[in-house]
Amino acid sequence: MRLLSRSLAIFPRASLTLVAAALCLLAAIPAFPWGFTAHDIINGQAITALPEPLRTFYTRHRELVVRHSADPDLFREFDPDEGARHYLDIDHYGKYPFEALPLDYEQAVAQFGKEEVARYGLVPWVIGWKYDELVQAFRNRKWDRVLVTSAWLGHYVGDCHVPLHSTENYDGQQTNQRGVHQRWEVELVNRFVKAEEIHPKPAVRIKGKVHHRARRWLLESAQLVEGVLKADREALKDGQFDYQKFAASQLGTVKRRLTQAAHRLACLWYSAWREAERPGGSGLQTGRPDGVGIEAGGNEVVDPRPVRGAGHSDGRAEPRR
């Protein structure tokens, strides 16, 4: 259903002021999934995994691709349908490997109904839809859309790699561990991870249905859930949470998931460009693909996002996915 893929990534220029004003207000809303830091790391480090000429192109616009990495979280405030795009509580559908849930969206809807499918989450399908949007943007040589769609795709790929985005017990509410969501995906990253430590392997072209592949990424996440919850329980003693102990158990997993997400995101960007038959060619290295300057009038990069607020991951607000 392409309805969902009609995201708010690119705005009509007339609405930019309104959007910018609204985003200023949103800048005060705390607690985002993976936190801004992790989404920034994934989008930023994915660029390092790209081959030329894409690497030069994305590097030139790195700030934009990174700055838009958490936009989909901000837009949950505007769009009530946005939230479900960030997770898939796949354990709702039985036991690993959750074959009761069809791989394809249309079949899932036919079996469970659109409402139930939306309620338990959509992230692998959204990755597929966003990828298709990116291919289209490349084909149309809409370079501003390429960059913003790339950033949004990075967000969903990142969320798909978070263990607690794959379970109904997403904040430990079923096991008396409320707050584990924030402790794992925000606190561990903010306290212990530096972007330079994340080295994704070089991107390769991937073929086949993207949402099938994304389902496999989510299955990996689902297999990590028990370990996250166990480590969280063990790090809590006498009402005190020991982040050093939590990190000793989970930091390796956090870094591995960040690295995998960045690598796979780069693969998707590269594959979309290849699928669109390499628009821009080597001109991408100069930022003037096909003679169309990316900063030229009528096709400039639109960046509607204002400065981010400081209070996004203070660890106190109710975590959301």
Spatial contact of 162 and 250, defined as CB atoms under 8 Å apart: no
Angle between helices 243-275 and 123-139 (to 10 degrees): 40
Q: What angle do CA 230, 236, 240 make, to 5 degrees?
A: 165
82 sits near Zn ion (criterion: CB under 5 A): no
Give the pair of three-digit tokens for residue 304. 């509607």
Which of these ranges, 32-40, 115-123, 170-178, 255-263, lies near Zn ion under the rule CB under 5 A? 32-40
Sign, CA dihedral 181-233-231-234, equals: positive
Task: Report residue 314 as tokens.
Answer: 């203070």
CB of 156 to Zn ion, least distance (A): 7
Q: Which is nearer to Zn ion, 245 or 320 (CB)?
A: 320
Pair of tokens at residue 159: 């969320």
Is 33 one of the binding residues for Zn ion (CB under 5 A)?
yes
* DSSP one-letter string for 47-91: HHTPPTTHHHHHHHTHHHHHHTTTHHHHGGGT-TTTGGGG-B-GG
Positive/negative CA dihedral, 164, 80, 41, 58: positive
Q: Which stretch binds Zn ion (CB under 5 A): 126-134, 158-166, 297-305, 306-314?
A: 158-166
Q: How far is the CB of 286 from Zn ion (least distance, A)?
A: 34
Window of 2-10, 155-163, 204-212, 215-223 that interacts with Zn ion by CB under 5 A: 155-163
Q: Toward Zn ion, which CB reaches closer, 55 or 67?
A: 67
Task: Give me the least distance between CB of 319 and Zn ion, in Å please.
Answer: 11
Among 71, 159, 171, 185, binds Zn ion (CB under 5 A): 159
40 binds Zn ion (CB under 5 A): no
**How many residues in the shown chain lie near Zn ion by CB under 5 A?**
4
User: Assign residue 281 a region: left if phi > 0, alpha if psi is -120 to 50, beta otherwise?
Assistant: left
Binding to Zn ion (CB under 5 A) within 280-309 occurs at none
Among 28-36, 113-121, 227-235, 302-310, the segment contacting Zn ion (CB under 5 A): 28-36
By CB under 5 A, tell whether 133 contacts Zn ion: no
Coil, strand, or helix at residue 236?
Answer: strand
In the chain, DSSP finds a helix count (H) and a strand count (E) of 13, 2
In whole angstroms, the minimum distance from the beta carbon of 33 to Zn ion comes to: 4
In the complex, what is the shortest distance from the CB of residue 94 to Zn ion, in angstroms, rounded to a whole number?
A: 25
Stretch that binds Zn ion, among 71-79, 180-188, 196-204, 206-214 (CB under 5 A): 71-79
Residues whose CB falls within 8 Å of the CB of residue 224, separated by 6 or more in sequence, listed in order: 163, 253, 257
Q: In angstroms, what is the minimal distance from the CB of 222 to Zn ion?
A: 17
Structure tokens at 149: 């769609």
Residues 6+ apart with CB under 8 A from 283: 53, 289, 290, 291
Contact between 86 and Zn ion by CB under 5 A: the answer reads yes
Residues of this chain that interact with Zn ion (CB under 5 A) are 33, 73, 86, 159
